[in-house]
Amino acid sequence: MPMGPLEITALHRKLGWHYHDFCLFHQAIYAQIRERESTLKSLIAENKTFLSASLNDEWEAVQQARLRDTVYIYNQENKSMALFADQLAIIGLWTMVEQYCGRTLIEAENQTSKRRRTRVAPYKWSELCNRFIVIGLKLPDCKSYNVVNECRVLNNKIKHVGAVDAELAKFSRYTRFAGCSIDEVEIDTQLYANSTFEFVTCVMEATGDALRAALAPGTKLFF
């Protein structure tokens, strides 16, 4: 929980609800996937003998082929839903990092400026990191930075490359997938979700500490 200007603590509350709703959204998708998987298992169990039978009757063989197609398509749909859900989760988590770190930065810059003015958070991660340095905070020092940075790179590959290239393969989690399609990658969404919340909260806490020090009586404003 950040200690400092009320604007930063208000941002943290918004982050908490945003994260809560994001997790509910992801859970809802997986609840639907599990329900579909249960339906598929029941369908297979009820028709186990028929699905594996050697049939001489032409009409029964057609029915068997259609049922097998139904099982195959249903199974592929479930896999695709899980794939989309996990990849969209990564994109959503990284968006959360950009949004809340950017808003925290803007608030900190306004708090430590001689006059509040309209500012825009940078789109480039390196520039965002550099602007945080000005207010006395190094983002790589914050908790879970390494995992969140990995999430950033994974997000970029999902959106722009579609494969595990040399940059992503540098991370040990993806080394064995080098050259593979992103669709073949196992994504630990729980790890990235936990790390995102911990990292952004740490950024807010550290920013609050920096602002309390900067706004102490007798302290000169940064710019």
The pLDDT of residue 210? 85
DSSP conformational letter for 113 = S
The pLDDT of residue 221? 42
The pLDDT of residue 118? 67
- Cβ neighbors of 140 (< 8 A, separation 6 or more) are 129, 149
The pLDDT of residue 114? 63
Query: Both tokens of residue 33?
Result: 């996937």
* Tens of pLDDT, residue by residue, the chain (223 residues): 777 678 888 999 999 999 999 999 999 999 999 999 999 999 999 999 999 999 889 999 999 999 999 999 999 999 999 999 999 999 999 999 999 999 999 998 888 776 666 678 888 999 999 999 998 899 999 999 999 999 999 999 999 999 999 999 999 999 999 999 999 998 999 999 999 999 999 999 999 888 877 766 554 444 3
The pLDDT of residue 115? 60
The pLDDT of residue 117? 66
**Which long-range contacts does 148-157 make (Cβ < 8 Å, 24+ apart)?**
148/97, 148/192, 148/195, 148/196, 148/199, 150/192, 151/90, 151/93, 151/94, 151/97, 151/192, 151/195, 151/196, 152/94, 152/97, 152/125, 154/90, 154/187, 154/192, 155/90, 155/91, 155/93, 155/94, 157/182
H helix or E strand, kind and range, residue 82: helix 58-111
What distances in angstroms separate CA 64 from CA 76, 119, 144, one per listed residue? 18, 64, 52
Q: Which amino acid is at 94?
A: W
Q: Does the predicted model carry a pTM greater than 0.85?
A: yes
The pLDDT of residue 3? 72
Is the distance from CB of 131 to CB of 122 less than 8 angstroms?
A: yes
Q: Which amino acid is at 175?
A: T
The pLDDT of residue 31? 97
